[in-house]
Amino acid sequence: MYTLTVKIAASGTIYLDQSKENPVPDPSDYGHMWYTISNGTSHNDYGFAPETHGKSGGPGAIKDDDSKAYQDEYYTGTIVITAQQYNKLKSFGKNPDKAPYNFSKNYKGLSHNCIDFVWKALEISGFNPGASDGQFLPTFNADNVDKIFYESLLGNTADWDESKPDGGNYRVVYGSRKGDNLVISELKTQTKSRPEIIFNSIYTGDGDDTIELNTKAVSSLAQKLLLIDGGEGDDTLKVTPQNDTLDLTNAEIKEIEQVEMGGGNDTVKAPTSASGPEKYYGGDDN
């Protein structure tokens, strides 16, 4: 499964320079924006910043460690992409200044920065056909990116809720319009300050989809998850660890036809909404 993730850190987020053995915590003045791509096995960060951290201009560099350096994320939006999109994003991330991209690596704080870099990546991968260069501050772009991903999957924005990305600390996953196997443990959205994997919303789109949860994702459901929307098709929520409690009482479950638990002694606390899963399968044991 190929995915693209756009990540945004707010101003004040602690930055730890990964090139130093004992980096000093450095609050970010304006925040940051970068993207990560995954082929299901490896994950690659691509961000654009001054060669010397904190400079407002001058020679720029492509950073491959932003997900480690920035200790929290204001917004994380992940969407399933094709192999072709993945290859384009990887090529651009490695050599943005080469043809056919021609993205200058001369960093200018107000006019040619991390925001422009990510929006150029979105343009190259087909998510930014209007060639927008984004909003002034990184956090101002959260709703724009989320709206694009939502519409790309669902075809319209009639039910899109702008307040979610605008509110910060929002982590969302979008599938594709085909059947997906979303292995949540592979998506790597954990941060240094919050090592657990937490998602607020998961949309799978059309097709017969499976959402596979690991132990950390299961434990986060009871605390943070707001919505799982399976869309059209026969969709399954699958729990891989054994001897677990799946707490869905605080989650809104839509269009998920069945829940499959792993082996062992498992407990399911069903959602209170009428649109919850139709069938539950316990696996081996109880």
The pLDDT value given to residue 125 = 97
- Kindly list the domain boundaries of the chain, sorted by start residue: 1-142, 175-286
The pLDDT value given to residue 87 = 98
Q: Cβ(178)–Cβ(209) under 8 Å?
A: no
Residue with tokens 């609050």: 27
Q: Cβ(184)–Cβ(155) under 8 Å?
A: no
The pLDDT value given to residue 244 = 63
Dihedral, CA of residue 202, residue 9, residue 142 and residue 79, to nearest 10: -40
Measured between alpha carbons, how far is 286 from 283 in angstroms, rounded to an integer?
8
The pLDDT value given to residue 216 = 58
The pLDDT value given to residue 151 = 96
pLDDT, tens digit only, all 286 positions of the chain:
899 999 999 999 999 989 888 889 999 999 999 999 999 889 999 999 998 877 778 899 999 999 999 999 999 999 999 999 999 999 999 999 999 999 999 999 888 999 999 999 999 999 998 888 899 999 999 999 999 999 999 999 999 999 999 999 899 999 988 888 777 665 655 445 554 556 788 888 888 888 887 655 555 555 556 688 888 888 787 777 565 677 777 777 877 788 877 666 677 777 666 566 667 666 665 5
Q: Cβ(153)–Cβ(183) under 8 Å?
A: no
The pLDDT value given to residue 21 = 87
pTM (2 d.p.) = 0.88
The pLDDT value given to residue 39 = 92
- Both tokens of residue 267? 């407990």
